Structures are given as C-alpha cells and as structure tokens.
Structure 1
Amino acid sequence: MYRHSLRTRVAIAFALCVAVLSVAWGFAFFGSIKLTEDHVLQHQLQRASESYPSMPMNFRAYDEVGHLPESLREWAQSNPSEGLYEFEEIELHVAVVPTDNGQGQGFVVFDVAGIEAASSDDWWWLLFIASAVGALAALGFGLGTIVMRKAVAPVVQLASAVADIDPEQLTAEDHRRIEAKRFGDDEVGVLARTIEKTFERISAFVERERYFTSSASHELRTPITVITGALELLEQSDLSPNDVKALNRVKRATLDMKTTIEMFLCLARETDDGLYDEEFSVKPLVNKAIDQQRYLLSRKSLDVDIDELANPKVKGHPQAFFIAVNNLVRNAFEHTLNAQGSITIRITEHELLVTNQVNSDAHEQQTPTVASPSHGYGLGLGIVQRLCERNGWSFSLLADEKNVVARLSW
C-alpha cells in the first residue's frame, strides 16, 4: 500500500538518485584532491630527505636575464609578458613578475625535477580515475534501476495481472488478481478500479447472454414447434386449393421465422460446444438452401444454374454456414425480376459465388462497385458478415448496374 501518488514516487525516486550520486561524486573529487596533495608533498619530502643535510632550493628569484639558468636565457631575451610558464622538457616552472622599481622583469623559477610524477605514474592515476568513474556510473545505474523499479512496481504488477486474464473466460481468480484494494489510492488504484468495474460489467453481460440464449432457445422454439405440428395436422385434412395456398404461405413464414430465430441465437451465443471447429460439406447445405427458397421463383421465368467445380469441405459452424448461404440465395431469388436471365451458383474449392442479374440491358456497362453489406441487397447481409467473421470466413458483395455477385470464401 502506498501513501503517495505514482507521480510523487517517481519524483522522489529521481531526487534520491541525484542526491546519492551527487554525494558520491563529491566524495570522489574530494578524495582525488587530497590524494594529489599528499602525493606532491610526499615527493617534496622525499627529495629533501635525499639531499640531507643540505636542503634543496626549489624556488629561486632572478632579477636579470643573465643570472637565469642557461636553458632559460634565450627564452627570457624574447621579453615574455607577465604570467606563468611551464617547460616540461627541463622540468621548470617560471613566473614572470615586474620588479620593484618597475624598470624590468623579474623571474621566479621553480624546479620540479623529482617532484612531478613520472609518465607511468600519470597513466596509473588516469586508470584509477577511470575506474572510479566507471564504478560510480555502475553504482548510479544500479541504484537508479532499483529505485525506479520500486517506484513503478504497482504499474508492472497491474499490467502483469491484466495480461494473464482471458476476457472470454473470466474466473473468480481473475477478479481477485485485479482487486483495486491491492493497489492503493493513487493513479494505479484508479486504473485498477476502472478495470475491475469493466470486468464486472463484462461478466454480468456474459451471464445475461448465457441466460438469454438458454431461455430464448426454448421459449422461442417451442411456439414454432407447436405451429409446425398444427400445420402438419392441417395438411392431412380435406382442404380447398385456396386453403392449401394459405397453408403453404404459413409454412414458409414459419420456416423463415425458425431460420431467423436460429440465426440470432447463433450470433448471440458466446460459445457453442465446439461447433465452430466442425468440418462439413458445402454442397448439401447449398442444395438445401435452394430447395427452401425455390418457392420465390414460382411466378418467375428464371433458371438456377449450379456450377459445381469442386466438392469442398469447410471448417466452422455448419448451421451458421447454412444461414449465410440461405440468406444469399434468398436475396438472389427475391431481387431478380422476371425474365432477367438465370441465377448462377458456383462452388469452387475455396469460395461460393451467387450471381444474379438486376438489369436486362446487356449493352449498358458500368464499373463494378463493392456494395455495403448492411443495406441495399437484403437486411440479412450484415448478419451474414457477422457470421463469417465469427467463423473466420470472408464475405464480399460486388454490384454494378447489371449483376450482383455475392462471394463467400473460406
């Protein structure tokens, strides 16, 4: 449980990292200065002890160029400006200062022979400093990683909990995993509460869907079954031709209602006992759909050409496939006017094509366009689209001024 918000914890984490690194760098620089100072003093003391009992005079003052060491005279005759100069080859440091009377220049020479570190010592010191810098950098990286990991731990914990949840199969363990009280009252807690409420709504919706489909499957099919039984009894009676026509219309309407109910129940079910992985043949379902909708052609001079180029088998929900094909065949039969040519149904290895003509003028050519599945050629095409999406099939409708081609592929 955290008392501060995530933003505050991240800011505190950065502040702690900067503070600790600043202190570490400060001690490192202070230690380097003290080590350098001690190193110089030790060299001076060592040189003095080597010349005991006489003490070396490292600093010497000269008021004339002629009194300077021979190695400096040529340089001094060039009248250098006031300042500090270093001569590494002869290990001398020279300061040029004005004289007391202001009529010339004075020279202070500092002999650093034996005091400055050798080149090999310089490399060792450079290696030591580089090692210290690397160690501090590693310390800062490790410290920053630890602190930041602690700061964002609730976010990582929530992300891991959500990643392990299957939205299609929510369990009681999933709800316990994302309980908001585990994440405090900060921004992560607000996000956890929102996710928890969302999952609760999803669970409630799935439960309602299951209850509805189980109840509706019985309550809606029972009246259809009663009507179908009553119609079968009426068929056995002595009916007039007009009564037979009326009875056939009622039977077709009942069959359409049964198909519609099955279609909506198929879409409403979240799961359907593994029927979406069943393998079935296409041809019998296509023939069944044609036989069911052939009454629509009773008053039309139309032919139905079935072009069977293959006898494929499809993997998915057979009832959903029949509903989709039945809808496409019905639309083709309904929207093709009398004497507008034949309706072609072609079955290939990977697709089903239902083609019907909508214009008898064969000379008028238009550019084909993709029609919207939601309207224009039957309200059921949107449902066909959804059925195909649920089963991993694809559906398209190509329409122009002459033909409409419905393609269902798998």
Structure 2
Amino acid sequence: MVRGISLFLSDCQSKLARFARTLSLSQRVKATFIASFSVFCLLSLLVIFAATKGTEDYIFEKQLSRVVTQFSQNYAQRHTFLFPEGIVAYARFADVPPLLAEYIGSTTPGVFELAHPGEQDFHYAVARMPDNTLYYFIYDVNEVEISENLERMMMQIIFSSFTLFILLFFVIFHLVLKRSLAPMFTLIEQVKKSDGSSDARFINEYKYEDDEIGLLNKTLADYAQRIEAFVQREREFTSFASHELRTPVTVIKGANELLKLYSEREPALAKPLARLERAVNSMEDMITVLLELAREDKTGQAAQAKLATVVEEVLLAFQCQADKNGKTLFLIASSPNSQSITRVNGLIVIGNLVRNAIQHSTEADIELCVTDSTFSVSNTLQPEQSAHVSEFFSGTEQGYGLGKIIVERVCRQQNWQYTQRIEGSQICVTIDFSG
C-alpha cells in the first residue's frame, strides 16, 4: 500500500515537472505566486476561523466559570442566586435532562464543552460546593452564539470575497509582471531582429545596468560586439589569405606557360606539363572553395558549367591516378542534357568522391553514373573498413577523412543533398544537385 502511494506520488511529480518545463518564464512566475498566495490565504482563513471559534468558546466558558464562582459564594452564605439567562444548575446528576446527560463526558470539577452531535451548542461545568456536594451547571449558548446558518452564509461571503480578491490580485500581478519583464522581451526582440547577420548591431537601450536585466543586456551587447569584431577579423584574414595563396599559384601557372613554349622542341615534356597544369588548376579551385567556405558572407557570382561537363573534366584529371592504381573508371551517362552547377564546387565535390573511390576500392571497376541532376560513385570497401562503416561516414579521419568533410561542407553551402547507401561490401555515394 505504502509502495503504491509512493509510486503514485512519484509519477505525479514527474508529470508535474514535465508540464512545468513547457511553461514560459512569466507563466512559471505567475503560477508560483498565485499558488503560493492561494495557499497562504486559505491557511489564513482556517487560522482565523479556528481562532474565532476558540475565542468564542473561551468567552462562554469564562462566563460560566464566573457564574459558578458566584453561585458557590452565595451557596455558602445561604443566599438566593439569580442565574443569568441560559444557565441552569442541577444538584444531582439524575436531575440533568437525559438528552444532555448522556453527552456529559466527565463528572470531575471543571468547565467543559458538551459534545452534542446536533447543531445545538452547550457548555457545562461541574463544581464542588462547600458542603462537598457536586452541582452541575448547563449553559445553553444557542441564543447568543452565531447560528450554523449564519456561519454558512458568512463562509460563503468570505469565500466569494476571497475568490474576487484572488482574481483582482492576478490582474494586478499580471500587469506588474508584464512591466517587469518588458526589458527582457525588448532584448529578445533585438536578438531576433539581428537574425545572425554580421551587419546587425545590438543596441544597448536599457538604462539600468545594476540589476539582472541590465546585466543581461550589457552581456548581450558586449557579446554582439565581440562577434562583430570576429567577423571583421575573418573578412580581413580571408582577404589577405586570398591574395597570399593565389600569388604563388599565379607564379607557377606563368612558369608553366613558359615551359610549354619549349615543349614543341622537347615532346617528352608535354605530358608532365599537362599534369602540372591540371594540378595547379585543382589547387586554385581548392583555394577558391576553402576561402568561400571560410567567409561569412558570399560575394560574387561563381562560374557555371553542365554537370556532365564537370564529370568529364574530373574523369580526365583522375584517369592517370586510376591507371596507376590498377582501377578502371566507367562513366554511365543516362541523359545528354544535365543541369548547370557551380563549376569549382562541383569539381571539388566530385573530385574528392572519385579520389576516395580510387584509393579505397578493392575491385578494379569503379562506376560513375550521371543523370539530369545527380552524380553517384559505386565501389567496394576493404574488409577492415566494413567493420567501421559508421565511422567511415561520420566525418572522422578514417576512410574519407578531410575530403569527406569538405564534400559535406560544400553540399550544405550549395544546398546539395549528400547521401550514401551500403549493401554488404558495396558502397554507393550520391549527390543530388537539385537540392
């Protein structure tokens, strides 16, 4: 039984905690204060009601005790005593009315309240006279105390007033809380309007900086300024890096063009110079993509090219590497008309996938498939890679390594869909360029 109650209370507590987490800050504050205030008022009403009833009984018993004392003094002097209205004395217990005698719980001297089950209220006293005789005094207080009907009506009035007071308090508290939280909502609106752009500025408009809202406002303003400074440093760095990285590439390309002039007299130089030119172009494209990924804002319009054209360019660039590794690249083009994509980004993504397939495939055949808007690479995995296939696609340095990270970043930037499917030792990676 105890265990069942404990489980029930624990379940109620967890449900209440989950419900509380769904409430906003203002709703939590309102609920806490309203609940606390309601409990406080109810307890206050109970205390006042109990104190009122206790005071009333004390007054009746005090009056009865004074009458008993006066009667005892007159009894000793054999004087006649006139009882106040509602008080009757009995010289013997047998003289007490049976309807009242059965509820007298004690015959020892003292003043008590009669435990009558009905709505009538009586107090009684037992006193020993100077001649050692016990007298019984019955005090009927029904005519002087508040009636049950009047008590009910008063309780209804008090409860109605209490309910009205709660509603009035809730309205006032709602207005006060709304004004108190207004600075915080102003901060929230400023953060929303900033929308994360580097050009947005956080305006510090709150005049009180020594309270919680003021400190929060100052912290957000300082944080926004640090972000703006960081973005500015990033712009300067990428600008300098772009110049410093492209300069040696331009020098290499110029030297390669000069060497081409001698290739007519030295035919053996033609093939190495072509490979050098492709490597330099690939390096230039990689620099462009990496700097573009590092920039917060996107500037300029990138050159476009057909998907099939980009795939053919990649196929030509990696044919020598495939031959050296004993692999064969099979191109399957299901549509002559493919959509246009950003040329440099497409070269980086497709080139990384083809390079990884050449490096990790266990079989000689690597299948490249091109449709109107998709490109896919299919090859087999090595046995030791199959056991770590989840890590293979998690962006770690196993398997695809840094190349896969670049592929995922470029796909997110260009809104391309990157997916992979694994069936046994066969893996198929697909890029959907339609977004």
| Same fold (TM > 0.5) | yes
The counterpart of 2:158, out of the listed 117, 129, 134, is 129
- Cα 1:99–1:204 change in 2 (3 A) is same
In 1, Cα distance between equivalents of 2:316 and 2:216: 56
Question: Structure 1, residues 334-373: CA drift from partner, whole Å, max 9, x if none?
Answer: 5569xx52211134688533234576x9xx9965724154
Q: Percent identity?
A: 27
User: Is residue 289 of structure 2 the alignment partner of residue 269 of structure 1?
Assistant: no
> In the comparison of the two structures, how many residue pairs are matched?
362
Q: CA deviation at 1:245?
A: 3.0
The residue type equivalent to 2:129 in the other structure is D
Alpha-carbon distance in structure 2 between the residues aligned to 1:114 and 1:275: 99
Query: What residue ranges of structure 1 are gaps of 5+ in the alignment?
Result: 1-9, 41-54
Residue 263 of structure 2 is aligned to residue 240 of structure 1: no
| Aligned: 1:352 with 2:379 | no
CA RMSD between the two structures: 4.9
Are 1:341 and 2:364 an aligned pair? yes
Asked whether the 8 Å contact 2:322–2:329 carries over to 1, the reply is no
Paired AA for residue 369 in structure 1: V
Give the CA deviation at 1:130: 0.7
Q: How does 1:127-206 map to 2 (within 5 A)?
A: 127-142=156-171, 145=174, 154-172=183-201, 174=202, 176-177=203-204, 182-206=207-231
Cα offsets for 1:263-320 (capped at 9, x unmatched): 21221222325979x9986433322322333343455654322234568978985542
Q: CA deviation at 1:207?
A: 1.9
Residues 164-185 of structure 1: CA deviation (Å, up to 9, x unaligned): 432234423x2x14x6x74413
**Partners of 1:117 and 1:194 in 2: CA distance:** 63
Distance 1:195 1:317 in 2: 38
**Equivalent residue, structure 2, for 1:97:** 126
The amino acid that maps onto 2:220 is I
Equivalent residue, structure 1, for 2:236: 211
Match of 1:109 in 2: 138
Q: 1:91 to 1:258 in 2, by over 3 A?
A: closer
Give the aligned partner of residue 253 of structure 1: 279
Whole-angstrom CA distance in 2 between matches of 1:145 and 1:365: 62
Q: What does the per-residue CA deviation read over 1:84-127, in whole Å, with 9 as the maximum and x for residues that have no partner?
A: 21657695624031331575542323344554555543332121
TM-score (norm 2): 0.63
Q: Is the 8 A contact 1:220 1:261 kept in 2?
A: yes
Aligned equivalents of 1:260 and 1:90: distance in 2? 97
Paired with 2:133 and 2:252, the residues of 1 have a C-alpha distance of 131
In 1, are the aligned partners of 2:123 and 2:138 still within 8 Å (CA)?
Answer: yes
Residues 65 and 77, structure 1, Cα contact 8 Å, conserved in 2: no
Pairwise CA distance, 1:194: 3.6
Corresponding residue number in structure 2 for 1:62: 90
Equivalents in 2 of 1:309, 1:29: separation in Å? 89
Q: Structure 1 residue 202: deviation in Å? A: 1.7
Contact 1:302 1:342 in 2 (8 A): yes
Counterparts of 1:115 and 1:212, CA distance in 2: 94
Shift in Å at residue 387 of structure 1? 1.5
Distance 2:336 2:133 in 1: 116
Contact conserved, 2:420 with 2:429, CA < 8 A, in 1? yes
SS of aligned partner of 1:270:
coil
Matching residue's letter, 2:235: R
